[in-house]
Amino acid sequence: MSWLANFFISPLGILFGLSLPALILLYLLKLKRKKQTVPSVLLWRQSLEDYTANSPFQKLKTNPLMLLQLLLLALLTLAMMRPTMNLNALRGLDYYVLLDQSASMSSTDIAPNRFAVAKRKVEELIRGMGSGDRMMLLTFGHHTSLVVPRTEDKGELLSALDRLGIVDTGTDLSEAMTILKASIGDHTERSKVFLISDGAIPDSENLFPPAVETVYEKIGEGGSNVGISRFSVTRPPTDDAGVQVFVDLTRTPDRTGPETLSLEWNNQTIDAHVFEWGEERNYSHVFQIPSVEEGVLTVSVDVEDDFALDNTASAVLESPEPIRVRIYANGFTPLARAINQIPETQVQVLPPKAYSATSETDIHVFDTWAPDTLPNDFDGVLFLGAAPPEEVGVEWGEPVDYPIVLDWNRTHPVTRGAEYRNLQVAKGNRIGLSDEFEVLLESRDLPLIYSLERGDRRFLGTTFTLVQSNWSRLYSFPITLVNSIRWLEGGASRMAEVAVFRTGEAIEIDTEIGQTEMTVINPLGEELTVSLLPDQRNFFSSTARSGEYRFLYPDGSEKVRWVNLLNEDESAITPTETLAFGEEKIEALATARPQSREIWPWLAMLALGVLVIEWWFYTRQSWV
């Protein structure tokens, strides 16, 4: 019986075989015949004698009708035992199904969309599993999810498959490969991987799938698309510079244009651009608009294509955060007044004893005094006539009287536009600088102004104090000071960059002190509660769907962040025929099927065919 169980899902179906003797019994019963009066049976009797044999045994043996019916019942009996055909072995196989749920799978080049078709394919795979077969179901977008661990339970697999939805993110298969390798281990002979995808898998050549048979079922039949692949908004620091909106578009080969690109500000069109595609697959355009206040800036390409997700991109413009500058000085310093003239700066003057390394400040200015250690968190530090802490790497030497200005760097952002010819310094200090430093203003004996970029931190220093020079009375002083503040904060471009978020990326949450929880409403309208870690940077990472995310604060205020696809790989929706993993190339298959499948439906079909033949045979006897 255990042997039977290997081949049949329902061995008890053999009980249906009892119908075979029942059929023979039916043949032993007398047939009810219709009466027909004839003039004479004389010739009929003679004909019958010629036609039939008299032996009942021979009659039973040669009755094709009964043989057909016996065959029919035997086939039905087999079918009821639900036999399976496993081409590899009696033991089942392990199937690993990787289902692509990235943004490009929402393309509608095949109805209703690629993801729905892909789900149907997976459903076919599940239904095609034979006895002993197991399946693991994974989905991948920008992350990989193990939907159902390896199981034989088709119901569980189908139920989980039914719940799956699409995400608006890019594709990253590396996690999936890691999970696969760990799951398959050494069982490579009995494992098979099904990759159900449109093939938009970036860097697949750098992925090395486990050494098992891999079937790639291509989803999609082409598709036409124009999409926004890059979008950035920059706001130069000066008020009159306006806003620059940079848009990069990509297309599928069938699109030749012309296309219209529109720019909206809070749902009102403020600019549009019509263009023709050139030879390139990409097209870039920069909108230059006057300065705008807070609101949502949306760029959209007015097309009807198979992939709507990348037709718009939005960013939220907010008032720029002030640059926090903290000046440590003994007594009066002309710096405060000068820096306050710079728009969007917030200046605080403190005595050296108020210095704290943990204070949150963008720029620290140390006037004639410097601490022993650098602050923990800062963008830039300016040392005016003070020896920087040792970790900066400046060797502070002997004073030099009246160093004479020789030359300066006219292209550096700090010294650009300034004239130092009239600068007179009463006393400076020799310093030793390594190669990573750059001298911006130099005298015959010593550097007067030096700079250093180390990671995302910037250092600027002078070897003289303001009171020992006439600099504060020269035009070069405010120019250099403004340039210094902007450079130390991160440069002009950095200051103006408006945050544009992509799906799958984490959004940093601005929290209030002591806040431990926050509610976020995602583009689907779902309210998500996010736990926050006090006194640390917090991030919100559930950004798989594109659209508007609203961060609600306890005081009733809210911040809006807009998340866009902006993924050139996903916008290129033409399905890939051949996937390259390392040096291995995998061709797309028309239909992927497990090798082990139940064959009872075929037996049942065969039985039906026999039934039709039997019917034909039976009725043929009565045909005139």
Partner 1 sequence: MPESTTKSTLLEPEFLRKLEQLSLVSRKLVSGKIRGERRSKKKGISVDFADYRNYVRGDDIRFIDWNIFGRLDKLFLKLFEEEEDLSVYLLLDTSKSMSHGDPSKFEYGKKLAAALGYLALTNYDRLAVTAFSTVHTEQLEPIRIKNRVWRLFEYLGNLSCEGETDLPSSCKDFAIRYARRGIVVLISDFLDPTGYEEALKALLSRRHEVFAIHLMDPEEVDPKYGGHLKLLDSETGEEVEVTLNSGLREVYRKKVAAYVSSLQDYCSARGIYYMSTRTDFEIERLVLDYLRRVGFVR
Closer residue to partner 1 in complex, CB, 48/612: 48
Q: Is 175 left (phi over 0), alpha (psi -120 to 50) or beta?
A: alpha
Scored b (16 or more CB within 10 A) or e, 529-564 reads: ebebeeeeebebeebbbbbebebeeeeeeeeebbbb
Q: Give the interface segment with partner 1, choosing from 40-48, 241-249, 328-336, 597-605 (CB under 8 A).
A: 40-48
Closer residue to partner 1 in complex, CB, 51/57: 51
34 lies in the binding site for partner 1 (CB under 8 A):
yes
- The residue count for binding partner 1 (CB under 8 A) is 26
Q: Given candidates 28, 29, 37, 279, which one binds partner 1 under the rule CB under 8 A?
A: 37
Separation between Cα atoms, residue 37 and residue 47, nearest integer Å: 17
Site for partner 1 in 408-467 (CB under 8 A): none
Separation between Cα atoms, residue 77 and residue 11, nearest integer Å: 10
Separation between Cα atoms, residue 568 and residue 228, nearest integer Å: 8
3-state secondary structure of 168: coil
54 lies in the binding site for partner 1 (CB under 8 A):
no
353 lies in the binding site for partner 1 (CB under 8 A):
no
The 10 Å Cβ neighbour count of residue 473 is 10
Q: Given candidates 2, 29, 36, 331, which one binds partner 1 under the rule CB under 8 A?
A: 36
The 10 Å Cβ neighbour count of residue 334 is 17
Output DSSP code: residue 352.
G
Q: Give the interface segment with partner 1, choosing from 19-27, 29-37, 211-219, 367-375 (CB under 8 A).
A: 29-37
Closer residue to partner 1 in complex, CB, 47/260: 47
Minimum gap (Å) between residue 27 Cβ and partner 1: 13
Closer residue to partner 1 in complex, CB, 47/376: 47
35 lies in the binding site for partner 1 (CB under 8 A):
yes
Q: Given candidates 38, 111, 513, 590, which one binds partner 1 under the rule CB under 8 A?
A: 38
Scored b (16 or more CB within 10 A) or e, 424-449 reads: ebebbbebeeeeebebbbbbeebbbb
Minimum gap (Å) between residue 32 Cβ and partner 1: 8
Q: Given candidates 41, 211, 286, 354, which one binds partner 1 under the rule CB under 8 A?
A: 41
Minimum gap (Å) between residue 161 Cβ and partner 1: 54
Q: Given candidates 18, 26, 48, 272, which one binds partner 1 under the rule CB under 8 A?
A: 48
111 lies in the binding site for partner 1 (CB under 8 A):
no
Closer residue to partner 1 in complex, CB, 42/182: 42
Rounded to a whole number of angstroms, the CA Rg of the chain reads 40
Separation between Cα atoms, residue 512 and residue 516, nearest integer Å: 9
Minimum gap (Å) between residue 57 Cβ and partner 1: 17
User: Widest CA span of the chain, in angstroms?
Assistant: 152
Scored b (16 or more CB within 10 A) or e, 117-143 reads: bbbebbeebbebbbbbbbbbbbbbbbe
Structure tokens at 374: 């650098």
3-state secondary structure of 575: coil
154-163 helix and 114-127 helix, angle to the nearest 10 degrees: 170
Closer residue to partner 1 in complex, CB, 6/46: 46
33 lies in the binding site for partner 1 (CB under 8 A):
yes
Q: Give the interface segment with partner 1, choosing from 15-23, 26-34, 351-359, 431-439 (CB under 8 A).
A: 26-34
Q: Give the interface segment with partner 1, choosing from 15-23, 31-39, 205-213, 602-610 (CB under 8 A).
A: 31-39
47 lies in the binding site for partner 1 (CB under 8 A):
yes
Minimum gap (Å) between residue 195 Cβ and partner 1: 59
Q: Is 615 exposed, middle or buried (0-12, 13-18, 19+ CB in 10 A)?
A: exposed
Query: Under the rule (CB under 8 A), what is the footprint of partner 1?
Result: 31-48, 50-52, 620-624
